[in-house]
Amino acid sequence: MAILEILQYPDPRLHLPAARVEKIDDATRQLVADMAETMYAAEGVGLAATQVNVHQQVIVIDVSPDQTDLRVFINPEIIRREGLALNQEGCLSVPGIYENVERADAVTVTALDANGARFTLNASGLLATCIQHEMDHLLGKVFVEHLSELKQNRIRAKLKKRQRKAA
Ligand code: NI
């Protein structure tokens, strides 16, 4: 396994749309294992392949308090949305920024697991938020793009300044 580099907003590669995975093989499972290790090392609850510069529809999520409930979603599709909820979100690609985003309160998602088996999951709460956040990444969308232009400009300026300082 390996810890992968996580692209940092506003890296333009975060805006590339991810392609469907046509064949789930050992390379896919290696990617999933590396993404999980990367997510756990960064203490995140979700990671999309887009964030590690792999533009395929692969997501890992673990919202458990003790990193014991890894969920893998390949080629995910939301087939039901219910209600609306405003929750604070953060993102490993946008460190230190936490903002409220409105999303569906509950979703039903269908996807393939790391063995290529299809499953359907009803999710609510943090898991539902996380699924929608990560699926946005696969479309090339970062959560701050749900905010006003003014807020987005402020966040971009703040992060660019921080990145310059770190360089
Ligand atoms: Ni994110």
pLDDT in tens, 121-165: 999 999 999 999 999 999 999 999 999 999 999 999 999 898 899
Indicate if 99 belongs to the active site.
no
Asked, for residue 159, whether it belongs to a domain, the answer is yes
| Cβ(91)–Cβ(68) below 8 Å | no
Q: Is 4 part of any domain?
A: no
Measure 122 CA to ligand 1 centroid, in angstroms: 21
The domain of 111 spans: 12-166
Distance 47 CA to ligand 1 centre (A): 6
Tally helices (H) and strands (E) across the chain: 3, 5
Token digits for 134?
């990560």
3-state helix, strand, coil in the chain (%, to 5): 35, 30, 35
| Domain-located, residue 137 | yes
Ligand 1 geometric centre to CA of 46 (Å): 7
Alpha helices in 79-166, H assignment, sequence order = 125-138, 149-166
Q: Which of 5, 37, 89, 134 is catalytic?
A: 134
* CA pair distance 143, 94, nearest whole angstrom: 9
Structural domains in the chain (count): 1
pTM: 0.96
